[in-house]
């Protein structure tokens, strides 16, 4: 065997070992579900970057000036965020709370039926989703789901996966320096901003189901009726005739989601007294 072949085999072994080390060393646990997840990006670094991207996104968007809608979103969001932080305290994860600086924004776009959350607790809802929410409980379904994404660290997990799969295992700092545009594109995809469907869509569907379960519990703990989730998704299903709304682009089929929500409901109702 030539020396170059031996060297290539050694290098491949080294790279595999390095990736295995990253994966093992970067495991975390999702609250409530207990699922193990890949999460090796320093949270402070990801939060700083996501805050910057959030400000940039808002600067390019038309923000709602409707006080009623703004107050509704903020009231519901603060209650659910408070329930999330209380859950973290009760489960020995109080140190995680410092990672969140909650902010809830209404984006004035009646044609966009969507909402998203970024690492660090930045949550936005488009006015297009409000008619489908109908009332406080319906909007709590949406916001509970988005806050669940944040405390489940889904943004970090998806970005960690994307750095491994699409950028060859670069650190976030390396990716920002060497491929800034591609990195920003991946970040927005990881947050669920926009309608692009990427190579990691199966992971996204797992995250959506997980966020549904966690979101039901959070909204129930915040005093909102989790039973509002089923009719909300039935309305989304009816709306999905033709081209699905953005909020459905990386989500399980509405029929499957409704069945899962019914299975999760007894657990959530334990907290809705």
H/E element holding 123?
Answer: strand 122-126
Tokens standing for residue 100: 């969140």
Q: Is 146 a catalytic site residue?
A: yes
User: For the packed helices 201-221 and 67-90, what is the interaxial angle rounded to 10 degrees?
Assistant: 90
Report the distance separating Cα 46 and Cα 42, nearest Å.
6
CA 249 to chain centre: 14
Tokens standing for residue 240: 């999905």
Is the separation of the CB atoms in 38 and 156 below 8 Å? no
Q: Which of 146, 157, 210, 246 is catalytic?
A: 146
H/E element holding 38?
Answer: strand 36-38
Tell me if residue 126 falls in helix, strand or coil.
Answer: strand
Q: From 142, 113, 159, select the one nearest 208 (Cα to Cα).
A: 142
- List alpha helices for the chain, DSSP H: 3-25, 43-59, 67-90, 130-133, 136-151, 154-166, 172-178, 180-191, 201-221, 229-239, 254-269
Tell me if residue 158 falls in helix, strand or coil.
Answer: helix
Tell me if residue 104 falls in helix, strand or coil.
Answer: strand
CA 57 to chain centre: 16
Residues, the chain: 273
Catalytic residues: 146
């Amino acid at each position: 065997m030539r020396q170059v072949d031996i060297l290539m085999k050694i290098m491949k072994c080294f790279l595999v070992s390095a990736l295995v080390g990253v994966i093992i060393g970067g495991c975390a646990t999702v609250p409530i579900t207990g699922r193990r997840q890949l999460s090796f990006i320093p949270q402070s670094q990801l939060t700083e970057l996501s805050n910057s991207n959030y400000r940039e996104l808002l600067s390019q968007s038309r923000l709602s000036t409707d006080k009623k809608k703004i107050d509704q979103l903020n009231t519901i969001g603060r209650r659910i965020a408070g329930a999330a932080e209380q859950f973290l305290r009760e489960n020995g994860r109080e140190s995680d709370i410092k990672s969140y600086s909650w902010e809830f924004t209404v984006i004035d776009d009646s044609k966009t039926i969507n909402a998203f959350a970024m690492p660090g607790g930045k949550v936005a809802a488009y006015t297009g989703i409000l008619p489908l929410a109908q009332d406080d409980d319906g909007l709590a379904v949406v916001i509970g789901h988005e806050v669940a994404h944040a405390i489940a660290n889904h943004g970090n997990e998806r970005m960690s996966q994307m750095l491994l799969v699409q950028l060859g295992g670069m650190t976030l700092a390396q990716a920002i320096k060497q491929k800034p545009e591609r990195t920003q594109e991946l970040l927005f995809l990881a947050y669920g901003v926009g309608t692009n469907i990427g190579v990691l869509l199966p992971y996204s569907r797992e995250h959506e189901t997980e966020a549904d379960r966690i979101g039901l519990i959070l909204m129930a703990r915040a005093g909102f009726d989790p039973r509002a989730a089923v009719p909300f998704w039935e309305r989304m299903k009816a709306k999905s005739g033709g081209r699905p709304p953005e909020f459905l682009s990386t989500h399980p089929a509405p029929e499957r989601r409704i069945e899962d929500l019914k299975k999760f409901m007894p657990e959530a109702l334990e907290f809705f007294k």
